[in-house]
A and B are shown apart, each in its own frame.
Chain A
Amino acid sequence: MTGPGAAAPRNRLATAGARATTQAMLRNQPRGDVIRNTAFAGLLLLAILIALAGLLALLIQAFAKGSSALSLDLFTNPPSTAFPEKAGFRPAIIGSLELIAGVILFVIPVGIGAALYLEEYADKTRWWNRLIEVNIQNLAAVPSIIYGILGLAFIVRGPFDLGFILAAGSLTLALLVLPMVIIAAREAIRAVPDSIRQGSLALGATKWQTIRRQVLPASVPGIATGVILAVSRALGETAPLLLVGATVFVTFDPTPFSPDGYSAMPVQIFNYAVRPQEEFQALAAAGIIVMLIVLLAMNSFAIWLRNRYEQRW
């Protein structure tokens, strides 16, 4: 990573010294310049502070609104319309966990497979390989609700006809985050230097052996980070699930293939958020707090993973 901050201390000192000397030689900086510079730096600082203040306000407000509903019951109780004080998120939590389990199961093999194909096997001059690349880039930018439409028309109904089951929701979410995983995996695979591959091939390994024993292990941290980030995205997505039938009112623990319906955290939060009673607003905020904690844990893990295992060639 280049950048002024990464320069060795000696370099910066040298620069600073040279600048100071030049300035001294040319007398003072024109006052206008000093003012402009300071003002500019101030504006930039303000920009960052506004962004951080926004984040802080969001967290504080969620806590303030949701603290009355925070309790261990949130994890063990089912939702309740008649008794909001006793309502919880249990089916939604279980539903979300099962959803992302399904996403991981789909996205790891297919995502790594596609990335490997594009990086190791594909002839980049062929039009069909370029088509695949363009497709992945486009799919990464498609709004999530379009994936909901895809799920509704193709997976729930249409050719797959799975019905409004949790596995269908899982598949829809998996398709949504697949481009992210492919892109992250490609970066990780690309970062492995060619010399490693050449060396392996020179020793007589086949292409697949090279990939399996050299390239993949080296790129696993990058891939893992990408998968975790994609999964956090899938955890927080609401719009596609609304269309593929994450029914709000289930009081039992959902299962992947049961036709009785399922629920998920963000959808449950949304449903509570649009109900006027104060208790439901507090519940929505409490649900948001739970989700934020889980996502924070996941993202921190991803960052730690990236830092710990990042290899420098």
Chain B
Amino acid sequence: MTSSKWLTVVASVAVLAFGVAACGDSDDEATGSGSDLSGSIRIDGSSTVAPLTEAVAEQFEAENSDVRVTVGTSGTGGGFEKFCAGETDISDASRAIEPEEVAACKENGVVNEEVRVASDALTVVVNPENPVNCLTVEQLGAVWGPDSELSNWSQIPGLEEEFDEELALFGPGTDSGTFDYFTEEINGEEGASRKDYNNVGENDNATVTGVQGSPGGMGYFGFSFYQENEGTLKALEVDGGKGCVAPSSETAQNDAYVPLSRPLFIYPSADALKKPEVKAFVDFYLDNANAVAESVGFIPLTDEQLQLSKGAAAKLG
């Protein structure tokens, strides 16, 4: 074949591929696996809740192969922005919706409900060699606060144990819901934090390796990361005013682990729930959330909490 024929072949293959792909959209009518639900569900929001939603979506799609679920991770705030603009069907959130967001949704006629799907225990981890067992919220604030200049464990006010090691701090990036929650609860204001810590961005694994590698290391992330590294990291107990409490499923569920136990939500919109596939998805979510939560590393809801959530979803659609 001459070279110009080559080029024609390549170009036609490209056109063909594009065309087939573009027309392949009409697969929706193909036989599914025993379900006649079809359509698409658009979910966006917290990157903390996303793994849970993704796992549920996978299983849902396995049973309903004509439904397409997309899960984005623009962050809790970014997710609400799209949600209140009507661009998504469900919003994942690692915190409750804020007044400005409520107003925006109301303005655009997006009726929604808060549906709790799981809980998380924000865990503060230190190096296993660290003798400290428990820190109060005030002490954590002294370390992580925006004006903090502490550089050594021995400088922490009111510390009982003797520990003369340099502080090596690891934390998530500023666009993380975990960061928002931690700073709000510990420092009193979302975004208020000292600036000179090791910012691991989205890569919580870097916190793990960082704290493991520094005797004076301290970091914070979701409970699942601690669970995966239980042998090589030590979780601090946190005293939120009622004594030192260690993070665990029980203490998160019965709200004993304060203030760092946080609820995780999805916010479906009433309009979306009118679509049968979305309604089926939300029902499926609540029926399976607890089973999936454990495998993804979250803390499942109690029966009472689950009933409340189902009630909220029913109220909406």
Contacts and interface: CB of A to CB of B under 8 A. Distances in A.
Query: Are chains A and B touching directly in their complex (CB below 8 angstroms)?
Result: yes
Interface of A: 78, 80-83, 94, 97-98, 101-102, 104-105, 108, 216-217, 220-221, 223-224, 227, 247-253, 255-261, 274-277, 305, 309
A208 to B, nearest CB: 16
Contact of A249 (B3, B15, B54, B202): B54
B69 A251 contact: yes
Q: Which 7 interchain pairs have the tightest Cβ spacing?
A: A276-B205, A82-B55, A261-B70, A81-B54, A220-B3, A249-B71, A104-B14
Nearest to A276: B205
A44 B34 CA distance: 67
Nearest to A82: B55
Contact of A81 (B6, B22, B55): B55
Interface size class, chain B: 35 or more
A98 B204 CA distance: 33
Contact of A260 (B17, B18, B42): B42
Contacts of A274: 201-203, 205
A12 to B, nearest CB: 34
Contacts of B6: 220, 224, 305
Given A82-B296, A104-B10, A249 B50 contact: yes
Given A104-B14, A274-B202, A277-B228, A224 B21 contact: no
Interface in B48-78: 50-51, 54-55, 57-59, 61, 68-73
Interface of B: 2-4, 6-7, 10-11, 14-15, 17-18, 21-22, 24-25, 40, 42, 50-51, 54-55, 57-59, 61, 68-73, 201-205, 208, 225, 228, 292, 295-296
Contacts of B17: 97-98, 101
B24 A255 contact: yes
B46 to A, nearest CB: 13
Nearest to B5: A220
Contacts of A81: 50-51, 54-55, 58, 296
Contacts of A98: 17-18, 21
Contacts of B59: 82
A257 B203 CA distance: 32
Task: Pick from B4, B10, B15, B202 the residue with the most CB of A within 10 Å.
Answer: B4
Query: Chain B interface secondary structure, helix, strand, loop or mixed?
Result: helix
A224 B4 CA distance: 9
6 contacts: A81-B51, A82-B54, A252-B68, A261-B72, A274-B203, A276-B205
Nearest to B203: A274
A264 to B, nearest CB: 14
A108 B296 contact: no
A249 B51 CA distance: 10
A248 B73 contact: yes
A82 B14 contact: no
B59 to A, nearest CB: 7
Given A104-B11, A221-B3, A309-B3, A82 B292 contact: yes
Given A82-B58, A249-B57, A309-B3, 5 more contacts: A97-B21, A101-B21, A249-B50, A251-B69, A255-B22
Contacts of A258: 25, 40
B70 A260 contact: yes
B3 A224 contact: yes
A108 B13 CA distance: 13
Task: Pick from A83, A94, A251 the residue with the most CB of B within 10 Å.
Answer: A251
Contact of B68 (A223, A260, A309): A260
Nearest to A224: B7
B18 A256 contact: yes
Contacts of B54: 81-82, 249
A263 to B, nearest CB: 9
Task: Pick from B3, B4, B71 the residue with the most CB of A within 10 Å.
Answer: B3
B58 A80 contact: yes
A252 B42 CA distance: 13
Contact of B205 (A83, A94, A275): A275
A256 B42 CA distance: 17
A105 B51 CA distance: 36
A188 B40 CA distance: 47
B70 A101 contact: no
A221 B59 CA distance: 49
Given A82-B55, A250-B70, A255-B22, A276 B7 contact: no
